[in-house]
Structure 1
Amino acid sequence: MENMYLALVHHPIRNKRGDLVTTSVTNLDIHDIARSCRTFNIKNYFLVTPLKAQHDLVKRILGHWEEDAANAYNPDRQDALSIARLVNSVDEAIVKIEEAEGVKPLIAVTGANFESFTGRMNDLVSKMNVDKKPCLLLFGTGWGLHASILERADFSLDPIVGTSEDGYNHLSVRSAVAIYLDRFAEASRS
Protein backbone atom coordinates (compact mmCIF):
# COMPACT_ATOMS: atom_id res chain seq x y z
CA MET A 1 0.00 0.00 0.00
CA GLU A 2 2.90 2.28 -0.67
CA ASN A 3 1.01 4.54 -3.03
CA MET A 4 -2.19 5.25 -1.14
CA TYR A 5 -2.90 8.66 0.34
CA LEU A 6 -6.02 9.64 2.23
CA ALA A 7 -7.81 12.93 2.82
CA LEU A 8 -10.55 13.86 5.23
CA VAL A 9 -12.32 16.72 3.49
CA HIS A 10 -14.01 19.50 5.47
CA HIS A 11 -14.51 21.73 2.41
CA PRO A 12 -16.24 21.55 -0.02
CA ILE A 13 -18.92 19.54 1.77
CA ARG A 14 -22.71 19.26 1.54
CA ASN A 15 -25.01 19.93 4.44
CA LYS A 16 -28.31 18.06 4.81
CA ARG A 17 -29.99 20.49 2.38
CA GLY A 18 -27.26 19.94 -0.21
CA ASP A 19 -25.70 23.38 0.26
CA LEU A 20 -21.94 23.86 0.03
CA VAL A 21 -20.47 24.25 3.54
CA THR A 22 -17.28 23.88 5.53
CA THR A 23 -17.44 21.49 8.49
CA SER A 24 -15.43 21.60 11.70
CA VAL A 25 -12.38 19.46 12.32
CA THR A 26 -12.79 17.13 15.30
CA ASN A 27 -10.09 15.92 17.63
CA LEU A 28 -11.28 12.29 17.42
CA ASP A 29 -11.09 12.26 13.61
CA ILE A 30 -7.53 13.60 13.69
CA HIS A 31 -6.31 10.93 16.10
CA ASP A 32 -8.34 7.90 15.10
CA ILE A 33 -7.98 8.27 11.35
CA ALA A 34 -4.23 8.88 11.73
CA ARG A 35 -3.99 5.62 13.69
CA SER A 36 -5.90 3.71 10.99
CA CYS A 37 -3.76 5.27 8.27
CA ARG A 38 -0.53 4.40 10.07
CA THR A 39 -1.76 0.84 10.70
CA PHE A 40 -2.48 0.34 6.99
CA ASN A 41 0.71 2.08 5.76
CA ILE A 42 -0.96 5.11 4.17
CA LYS A 43 1.73 7.56 3.04
CA ASN A 44 0.02 10.74 4.20
CA TYR A 45 -3.27 11.63 5.82
CA PHE A 46 -4.44 15.06 4.66
CA LEU A 47 -6.81 17.17 6.74
CA VAL A 48 -8.50 19.52 4.28
CA THR A 49 -9.89 22.82 5.55
CA PRO A 50 -9.47 26.40 4.37
CA LEU A 51 -10.35 27.96 7.74
CA LYS A 52 -7.52 29.62 9.67
CA ALA A 53 -9.16 28.90 13.04
CA GLN A 54 -9.32 25.20 12.13
CA HIS A 55 -5.66 25.28 11.03
CA ASP A 56 -4.74 26.76 14.41
CA LEU A 57 -6.67 24.00 16.20
CA VAL A 58 -5.09 21.20 14.16
CA LYS A 59 -1.60 22.62 14.61
CA ARG A 60 -2.19 22.84 18.37
CA ILE A 61 -3.35 19.21 18.51
CA LEU A 62 -0.50 17.92 16.35
CA GLY A 63 2.00 20.08 18.23
CA HIS A 64 0.86 18.74 21.59
CA TRP A 65 1.87 15.21 20.64
CA GLU A 66 5.28 16.39 19.45
CA GLU A 67 6.09 17.77 22.92
CA ASP A 68 8.48 15.65 24.97
CA ALA A 69 6.05 14.86 27.81
CA ALA A 70 3.16 13.85 25.53
CA ASN A 71 5.45 11.88 23.24
CA ALA A 72 6.97 10.06 26.21
CA TYR A 73 3.49 9.28 27.56
CA ASN A 74 2.14 7.92 24.26
CA PRO A 75 4.78 7.58 21.52
CA ASP A 76 2.44 5.50 19.35
CA ARG A 77 0.07 8.45 19.00
CA GLN A 78 2.87 10.79 17.89
CA ASP A 79 4.04 8.12 15.44
CA ALA A 80 0.56 7.89 13.92
CA LEU A 81 0.14 11.67 13.78
CA SER A 82 3.49 12.07 12.02
CA ILE A 83 1.81 11.24 8.69
CA ALA A 84 -0.91 13.89 9.11
CA ARG A 85 -0.68 16.91 6.80
CA LEU A 86 -2.82 20.03 7.01
CA VAL A 87 -3.85 21.55 3.66
CA ASN A 88 -6.23 24.27 2.50
CA SER A 89 -7.80 22.28 -0.35
CA VAL A 90 -7.99 18.99 -2.16
CA ASP A 91 -5.99 20.65 -4.95
CA GLU A 92 -3.17 21.40 -2.51
CA ALA A 93 -3.10 17.73 -1.45
CA ILE A 94 -2.95 16.68 -5.11
CA VAL A 95 0.00 19.02 -5.73
CA LYS A 96 1.86 17.64 -2.69
CA ILE A 97 1.35 14.07 -3.91
CA GLU A 98 2.42 14.98 -7.44
CA GLU A 99 5.59 16.61 -6.04
CA ALA A 100 6.38 13.47 -4.01
CA GLU A 101 5.46 10.87 -6.66
CA GLY A 102 6.24 12.67 -9.93
CA VAL A 103 2.74 11.93 -11.25
CA LYS A 104 -0.74 13.20 -10.54
CA PRO A 105 -2.69 10.73 -8.35
CA LEU A 106 -5.92 8.99 -9.19
CA ILE A 107 -8.74 10.56 -7.22
CA ALA A 108 -11.08 8.06 -5.58
CA VAL A 109 -14.17 9.12 -3.65
CA THR A 110 -16.38 7.46 -1.07
CA GLY A 111 -19.94 8.14 -0.02
CA ALA A 112 -22.57 6.42 2.08
CA ASN A 113 -25.37 7.32 -0.33
CA PHE A 114 -23.86 6.69 -3.76
CA GLU A 115 -26.56 5.35 -6.06
CA SER A 116 -24.02 4.56 -8.75
CA PHE A 117 -20.32 3.92 -8.43
CA THR A 118 -17.33 2.83 -10.49
CA GLY A 119 -16.49 -0.32 -8.60
CA ARG A 120 -15.24 -2.09 -5.53
CA MET A 121 -11.86 -1.83 -3.84
CA ASN A 122 -10.30 -4.64 -5.89
CA ASP A 123 -11.27 -2.68 -9.05
CA LEU A 124 -9.53 0.42 -7.69
CA VAL A 125 -6.38 -1.56 -6.87
CA SER A 126 -6.38 -2.98 -10.41
CA LYS A 127 -6.75 0.52 -11.85
CA MET A 128 -3.86 1.77 -9.71
CA ASN A 129 -1.69 -1.10 -10.95
CA VAL A 130 -2.62 -0.62 -14.62
CA ASP A 131 -2.28 3.18 -14.54
CA LYS A 132 0.85 2.96 -12.34
CA LYS A 133 -0.36 5.90 -10.28
CA PRO A 134 -0.76 6.64 -6.60
CA CYS A 135 -4.27 7.20 -5.30
CA LEU A 136 -5.78 9.91 -3.15
CA LEU A 137 -8.79 8.42 -1.37
CA LEU A 138 -11.24 11.14 -0.29
CA PHE A 139 -13.66 10.94 2.61
CA GLY A 140 -16.25 13.59 3.27
CA THR A 141 -17.60 14.94 6.50
CA GLY A 142 -21.04 16.48 7.06
CA TRP A 143 -23.46 15.02 4.51
CA GLY A 144 -20.72 14.03 2.09
CA LEU A 145 -18.43 15.42 -0.57
CA HIS A 146 -19.78 18.28 -2.64
CA ALA A 147 -20.53 17.68 -6.34
CA SER A 148 -17.55 19.85 -7.31
CA ILE A 149 -15.27 17.14 -5.88
CA LEU A 150 -17.32 14.14 -7.00
CA GLU A 151 -17.27 15.37 -10.61
CA ARG A 152 -13.45 15.38 -10.62
CA ALA A 153 -13.08 11.83 -9.34
CA ASP A 154 -11.43 9.14 -11.43
CA PHE A 155 -13.11 6.43 -9.37
CA SER A 156 -16.03 6.13 -6.95
CA LEU A 157 -16.11 3.25 -4.49
CA ASP A 158 -19.18 1.25 -3.61
CA PRO A 159 -20.74 2.40 -0.33
CA ILE A 160 -20.51 0.44 2.87
CA VAL A 161 -23.91 -1.14 3.42
CA GLY A 162 -24.94 -2.47 6.81
CA THR A 163 -27.32 -5.29 7.61
CA SER A 164 -29.82 -3.44 9.77
CA GLU A 165 -33.31 -4.66 8.90
CA ASP A 166 -34.72 -1.13 9.00
CA GLY A 167 -32.02 0.21 6.65
CA TYR A 168 -30.12 2.22 9.26
CA ASN A 169 -26.72 3.04 7.75
CA HIS A 170 -24.88 5.90 9.45
CA LEU A 171 -21.27 5.05 10.30
CA SER A 172 -18.85 7.60 11.68
CA VAL A 173 -16.23 8.64 9.14
CA ARG A 174 -13.61 7.08 11.44
CA SER A 175 -15.33 3.69 11.14
CA ALA A 176 -15.76 4.03 7.37
CA VAL A 177 -12.06 4.85 6.93
CA ALA A 178 -11.04 1.74 8.90
CA ILE A 179 -13.37 -0.49 6.88
CA TYR A 180 -12.22 0.86 3.51
CA LEU A 181 -8.55 0.59 4.50
CA ASP A 182 -9.06 -3.02 5.55
CA ARG A 183 -10.72 -3.67 2.18
CA PHE A 184 -7.77 -2.00 0.46
CA ALA A 185 -5.30 -4.20 2.34
CA GLU A 186 -7.27 -7.31 1.37
CA ALA A 187 -7.52 -6.28 -2.28
CA SER A 188 -3.79 -5.47 -2.39
CA ARG A 189 -2.94 -8.94 -1.09
CA SER A 190 -5.08 -10.67 -3.74
Structure 2
Amino acid sequence: IPGVVGKTEAVQEDSFYNGMLDYPNYTRPAVWDDEEVPEILLSGNDTIIKEWRRRQSVERTLKRRPDIIGRAGIMPYLNYGAYVIEIYNSTLDPKTDNSISEGLKLNLIDTATVCRTYGIERYILIAPNAQQRETIKQTISLLSEEAECKDRPDLKEALNNIKLFGSTQKALAWIEKRSKTDLHKVVVTTKDCKKAVNWLSLKREILLKNYCTVFLFGRECELHSKMIDSANTVLPPISGVKNNLNHLSVRSTIGITLDRFFGQR
Protein backbone atom coordinates (compact mmCIF):
# COMPACT_ATOMS: atom_id res chain seq x y z
CA ILE A 1 0.00 0.00 0.00
CA PRO A 2 1.57 3.35 -1.04
CA GLY A 3 2.69 5.45 1.91
CA VAL A 4 2.72 2.67 4.51
CA VAL A 5 6.47 2.10 4.12
CA GLY A 6 8.52 5.28 3.89
CA LYS A 7 11.21 3.90 1.57
CA THR A 8 9.81 2.13 -1.51
CA GLU A 9 13.14 0.38 -2.16
CA ALA A 10 12.77 -1.47 1.15
CA VAL A 11 9.66 -3.21 -0.19
CA GLN A 12 11.16 -3.88 -3.63
CA GLU A 13 14.25 -5.49 -2.12
CA ASP A 14 12.29 -7.69 0.29
CA SER A 15 12.16 -11.47 -0.17
CA PHE A 16 9.98 -12.73 -3.05
CA TYR A 17 9.20 -9.23 -4.41
CA ASN A 18 11.39 -9.95 -7.46
CA GLY A 19 11.18 -13.70 -7.04
CA MET A 20 14.42 -13.84 -5.03
CA LEU A 21 15.30 -14.01 -1.34
CA ASP A 22 16.40 -10.85 0.45
CA TYR A 23 20.07 -10.15 1.22
CA PRO A 24 21.21 -10.34 4.91
CA ASN A 25 20.52 -7.19 6.92
CA TYR A 26 22.67 -5.80 9.73
CA THR A 27 22.24 -3.15 12.39
CA ARG A 28 24.44 -1.56 15.03
CA PRO A 29 26.72 -2.31 16.81
CA ALA A 30 29.29 -3.33 14.17
CA VAL A 31 30.35 -6.28 16.35
CA TRP A 32 27.99 -8.43 18.41
CA ASP A 33 28.72 -11.80 20.04
CA ASP A 34 31.90 -12.12 17.96
CA GLU A 35 29.94 -11.56 14.74
CA GLU A 36 31.06 -8.61 12.65
CA VAL A 37 29.27 -6.57 10.02
CA PRO A 38 31.04 -7.17 6.66
CA GLU A 39 33.63 -4.49 5.92
CA ILE A 40 31.97 -3.73 2.58
CA LEU A 41 28.84 -2.45 4.36
CA LEU A 42 30.97 -0.06 6.40
CA SER A 43 32.84 1.28 3.37
CA GLY A 44 30.29 3.95 2.46
CA ASN A 45 30.64 3.01 -1.23
CA ASP A 46 27.05 2.67 -2.46
CA THR A 47 28.02 0.94 -5.72
CA ILE A 48 30.06 -1.78 -4.00
CA ILE A 49 27.42 -2.23 -1.29
CA LYS A 50 24.66 -2.61 -3.89
CA GLU A 51 26.68 -5.22 -5.80
CA TRP A 52 27.46 -7.14 -2.57
CA ARG A 53 23.78 -7.21 -1.60
CA ARG A 54 22.79 -8.37 -5.07
CA ARG A 55 25.26 -11.28 -5.03
CA GLN A 56 24.21 -12.22 -1.48
CA SER A 57 20.59 -12.37 -2.65
CA VAL A 58 21.60 -14.67 -5.52
CA GLU A 59 23.69 -16.99 -3.31
CA ARG A 60 21.00 -17.20 -0.62
CA THR A 61 18.27 -18.01 -3.14
CA LEU A 62 20.30 -20.68 -4.93
CA LYS A 63 21.30 -22.28 -1.62
CA ARG A 64 18.00 -22.11 0.25
CA ARG A 65 15.24 -21.89 -2.36
CA PRO A 66 16.52 -22.94 -5.80
CA ASP A 67 12.95 -23.97 -6.63
CA ILE A 68 11.79 -20.35 -6.94
CA ILE A 69 14.38 -19.41 -9.59
CA GLY A 70 12.03 -20.64 -12.31
CA ARG A 71 9.63 -17.74 -11.79
CA ALA A 72 12.21 -15.06 -10.96
CA GLY A 73 13.25 -12.34 -13.37
CA ILE A 74 17.04 -12.53 -13.11
CA MET A 75 18.11 -9.58 -15.27
CA PRO A 76 18.57 -7.14 -12.31
CA TYR A 77 21.06 -9.61 -10.79
CA LEU A 78 23.36 -9.82 -13.83
CA ASN A 79 26.32 -7.45 -14.15
CA TYR A 80 26.71 -7.80 -17.91
CA GLY A 81 23.12 -8.24 -19.04
CA ALA A 82 22.21 -10.41 -22.02
CA TYR A 83 22.20 -10.12 -25.80
CA VAL A 84 20.04 -11.61 -28.55
CA ILE A 85 21.48 -12.55 -31.94
CA GLU A 86 19.10 -13.54 -34.72
CA ILE A 87 20.63 -15.00 -37.85
CA TYR A 88 18.55 -13.60 -40.69
CA ASN A 89 17.22 -15.98 -43.33
CA SER A 90 19.86 -15.50 -46.03
CA THR A 91 17.73 -17.14 -48.75
CA LEU A 92 15.11 -14.36 -48.73
CA ASP A 93 15.41 -10.94 -50.31
CA PRO A 94 12.84 -8.46 -48.91
CA LYS A 95 13.55 -6.01 -51.73
CA THR A 96 12.10 -8.33 -54.38
CA ASP A 97 9.05 -9.57 -52.49
CA ASN A 98 6.53 -7.23 -50.85
CA SER A 99 5.11 -9.94 -48.56
CA ILE A 100 8.62 -10.68 -47.25
CA SER A 101 9.16 -6.96 -46.73
CA GLU A 102 6.00 -6.73 -44.62
CA GLY A 103 7.13 -9.82 -42.72
CA LEU A 104 10.46 -8.15 -42.04
CA LYS A 105 8.71 -5.08 -40.60
CA LEU A 106 6.57 -7.25 -38.33
CA ASN A 107 9.59 -9.27 -37.21
CA LEU A 108 11.64 -6.15 -36.43
CA ILE A 109 8.83 -4.49 -34.46
CA ASP A 110 7.86 -7.61 -32.51
CA THR A 111 11.35 -8.85 -31.67
CA ALA A 112 12.79 -5.42 -30.88
CA THR A 113 9.83 -4.72 -28.56
CA VAL A 114 10.21 -8.09 -26.82
CA CYS A 115 13.94 -7.47 -26.30
CA ARG A 116 13.24 -4.03 -24.84
CA THR A 117 10.55 -5.46 -22.54
CA TYR A 118 12.98 -7.95 -21.00
CA GLY A 119 15.91 -5.53 -20.76
CA ILE A 120 18.13 -7.08 -23.45
CA GLU A 121 21.30 -5.02 -24.04
CA ARG A 122 21.14 -5.28 -27.85
CA TYR A 123 19.03 -7.09 -30.42
CA ILE A 124 21.54 -8.04 -33.13
CA LEU A 125 20.65 -9.15 -36.66
CA ILE A 126 23.13 -11.10 -38.75
CA ALA A 127 22.73 -10.55 -42.50
CA PRO A 128 25.70 -11.82 -44.56
CA ASN A 129 24.50 -10.10 -47.73
CA ALA A 130 25.32 -6.35 -48.00
CA GLN A 131 22.12 -5.64 -49.94
CA GLN A 132 20.07 -7.33 -47.22
CA ARG A 133 21.78 -5.25 -44.54
CA GLU A 134 21.01 -2.06 -46.46
CA THR A 135 17.35 -3.07 -46.87
CA ILE A 136 17.05 -3.90 -43.16
CA LYS A 137 18.74 -0.59 -42.27
CA GLN A 138 16.28 1.35 -44.44
CA THR A 139 13.35 -0.56 -42.94
CA ILE A 140 14.50 0.26 -39.39
CA SER A 141 14.88 3.93 -40.34
CA LEU A 142 11.38 3.99 -41.85
CA LEU A 143 9.83 2.31 -38.81
CA SER A 144 11.64 4.75 -36.47
CA GLU A 145 10.22 7.71 -38.39
CA GLU A 146 6.72 6.21 -38.20
CA ALA A 147 7.14 5.62 -34.45
CA GLU A 148 8.15 9.26 -33.98
CA CYS A 149 5.20 10.54 -36.03
CA LYS A 150 2.80 8.39 -34.00
CA ASP A 151 4.42 9.57 -30.74
CA ARG A 152 5.62 6.12 -29.71
CA PRO A 153 8.95 6.74 -27.97
CA ASP A 154 8.96 3.20 -26.54
CA LEU A 155 8.91 1.66 -30.03
CA LYS A 156 11.53 4.08 -31.31
CA GLU A 157 13.79 3.19 -28.37
CA ALA A 158 13.32 -0.52 -29.11
CA LEU A 159 14.20 -0.03 -32.79
CA ASN A 160 17.27 2.03 -31.88
CA ASN A 161 18.46 -0.98 -29.89
CA ILE A 162 18.88 -3.04 -33.08
CA LYS A 163 22.38 -3.56 -34.42
CA LEU A 164 23.41 -5.11 -37.75
CA PHE A 165 26.43 -7.27 -38.56
CA GLY A 166 27.57 -9.25 -41.57
CA SER A 167 28.71 -12.26 -39.54
CA THR A 168 28.18 -13.87 -36.16
CA GLN A 169 31.93 -13.69 -35.43
CA LYS A 170 31.95 -9.90 -35.82
CA ALA A 171 28.90 -9.56 -33.60
CA LEU A 172 30.42 -11.71 -30.85
CA ALA A 173 33.70 -9.77 -31.03
CA TRP A 174 31.77 -6.49 -30.65
CA ILE A 175 29.83 -7.79 -27.62
CA GLU A 176 33.02 -9.08 -25.98
CA LYS A 177 34.73 -5.72 -26.47
CA ARG A 178 31.71 -3.85 -25.13
CA SER A 179 31.16 -6.06 -22.07
CA LYS A 180 34.89 -6.55 -21.34
CA THR A 181 34.32 -10.13 -20.26
CA ASP A 182 34.07 -13.64 -21.70
CA LEU A 183 30.78 -14.56 -23.34
CA HIS A 184 28.52 -17.51 -22.65
CA LYS A 185 26.99 -18.45 -26.01
CA VAL A 186 23.59 -20.17 -25.92
CA VAL A 187 22.17 -21.63 -29.12
CA VAL A 188 18.41 -22.26 -29.12
CA THR A 189 17.94 -25.18 -31.50
CA THR A 190 15.01 -26.13 -33.71
CA LYS A 191 15.73 -29.86 -33.47
CA ASP A 192 16.88 -32.32 -30.81
CA CYS A 193 20.55 -32.20 -29.89
CA LYS A 194 22.53 -34.55 -27.63
CA LYS A 195 24.31 -31.71 -25.80
CA ALA A 196 21.09 -29.78 -25.05
CA VAL A 197 20.38 -28.88 -21.40
CA ASN A 198 17.24 -27.89 -19.55
CA TRP A 199 16.59 -24.13 -19.53
CA LEU A 200 16.08 -24.04 -15.74
CA SER A 201 19.52 -25.56 -15.12
CA LEU A 202 21.04 -22.93 -17.39
CA LYS A 203 19.11 -20.15 -15.64
CA ARG A 204 20.59 -21.15 -12.29
CA GLU A 205 24.08 -21.38 -13.81
CA ILE A 206 23.80 -17.91 -15.39
CA LEU A 207 22.81 -16.49 -12.01
CA LEU A 208 25.55 -18.28 -10.08
CA LYS A 209 28.40 -17.48 -12.48
CA ASN A 210 27.13 -14.04 -13.53
CA TYR A 211 27.62 -14.70 -17.23
CA CYS A 212 27.38 -12.23 -20.07
CA THR A 213 24.92 -14.40 -21.97
CA VAL A 214 24.38 -14.29 -25.73
CA PHE A 215 21.32 -16.11 -27.05
CA LEU A 216 21.58 -17.16 -30.71
CA PHE A 217 18.41 -17.83 -32.70
CA GLY A 218 17.73 -18.78 -36.30
CA ARG A 219 16.09 -21.26 -38.59
CA GLU A 220 17.56 -24.73 -38.92
CA CYS A 221 19.46 -23.85 -42.11
CA GLU A 222 21.20 -20.90 -40.36
CA LEU A 223 22.06 -22.69 -37.10
CA HIS A 224 24.58 -25.04 -38.69
CA SER A 225 26.53 -27.72 -36.81
CA LYS A 226 29.70 -25.62 -36.41
CA MET A 227 27.74 -22.95 -34.54
CA ILE A 228 26.12 -25.53 -32.28
CA ASP A 229 29.49 -27.19 -31.59
CA SER A 230 31.08 -23.86 -30.61
CA ALA A 231 28.24 -22.92 -28.24
CA ASN A 232 28.79 -23.08 -24.48
CA THR A 233 25.23 -24.31 -24.00
CA VAL A 234 22.51 -25.61 -26.30
CA LEU A 235 18.84 -25.35 -25.41
CA PRO A 236 16.42 -27.93 -26.85
CA PRO A 237 13.48 -26.97 -29.07
CA ILE A 238 10.51 -25.44 -27.25
CA SER A 239 7.89 -28.16 -26.89
CA GLY A 240 4.28 -28.29 -25.83
CA VAL A 241 1.44 -30.81 -26.00
CA LYS A 242 2.23 -31.65 -29.63
CA ASN A 243 5.93 -32.33 -29.17
CA ASN A 244 6.31 -33.64 -32.72
CA LEU A 245 5.27 -30.27 -34.14
CA ASN A 246 7.94 -27.58 -34.09
CA HIS A 247 6.63 -24.83 -36.34
CA LEU A 248 7.14 -21.86 -34.04
CA SER A 249 8.40 -18.72 -35.74
CA VAL A 250 11.81 -17.43 -34.68
CA ARG A 251 10.24 -14.39 -33.01
CA SER A 252 7.89 -16.65 -30.99
CA THR A 253 10.87 -18.73 -29.88
CA ILE A 254 12.73 -15.58 -28.85
CA GLY A 255 9.74 -14.32 -26.84
CA ILE A 256 9.22 -17.61 -24.99
CA THR A 257 12.92 -18.04 -24.24
CA LEU A 258 13.38 -14.51 -22.89
CA ASP A 259 10.27 -14.84 -20.73
CA ARG A 260 11.63 -18.03 -19.16
CA PHE A 261 14.86 -16.31 -18.14
CA PHE A 262 13.86 -12.69 -17.55
CA GLY A 263 10.09 -12.67 -17.06
CA GLN A 264 8.85 -11.96 -13.55
CA ARG A 265 5.90 -13.85 -12.03
Q: TM-score, normalised by structure 2?
A: 0.60
The answer to whether the 8 Å contact 2:188/2:237 transfers is yes
Equivalent residue number for residue 183 of structure 1: 260
- The amino acid across from 2:252 in the alignment is S
1:174 aligns with 2:251: yes
Higher relative contact order (CA 8 A, sep 6+): 1
| CA distance 1:6–1:23, change in 2 (3 Å) | farther
- Which segments of 5 or more consecutive residues in structure 2 lack a partner in the other structure? 1-74, 95-103
- The amino acid across from 1:107 in the alignment is K
How is 1:1-190 mapped onto 2 (pairs within 5 angstroms)?
1=75, 3-10=81-88, 22-24=90-92, 26-67=104-145, 70-73=147-150, 74-141=152-219, 143-164=221-242, 167-186=244-263
Q: Distance in 2 between matches of 1:57 and 1:144?
A: 19
Aligned residues: 176
| CA distance 1:127–1:23, change in 2 (3 Å) | farther
Cα shift at 1:123: 1.9
How big is the alpha-carbon RMSD for the aligned residues of Structure 1 and Structure 2? 2.2
Q: Distance in 2 between matches of 1:23 and 1:75?
A: 33
The answer to whether the 8 Å contact 1:6/1:46 transfers is yes
Cα shift at 1:96: 1.4
Cα shift at 1:142: 5.2
Equivalent residue number for residue 17 of structure 1: none
Cα shift at 1:55: 0.8
Q: Once superposed, which parts of structure 1, at least 4 consecutive aligned residues long, lie more than 6 Å away? A: none
The answer to whether the 8 Å contact 1:23/1:141 transfers is no
**SS class of match (1:42):** coil
- Which segments of 5 or more consecutive residues in structure 1 lack a partner in the other structure? 12-21
Q: Distance in 2 between matches of 1:133 and 1:101?
A: 11
The answer to whether the 8 Å contact 2:239/2:246 transfers is yes
Q: Distance in 2 between matches of 1:157 and 1:71?
A: 37
Q: TM-score, normalised by structure 1?
A: 0.82
Q: Percent identity?
A: 28
The answer to whether the 8 Å contact 1:111/1:144 transfers is no
The answer to whether the 8 Å contact 1:6/1:42 transfers is yes
- The amino acid across from 2:197 in the alignment is G
Structure 1 window deviating more from structure 2 (57-66 vs 42-51): it is: 57-66
Q: Distance in 2 between matches of 1:78 and 1:161?
A: 33
- The amino acid across from 2:122 in the alignment is N
**SS class of match (2:84):** strand
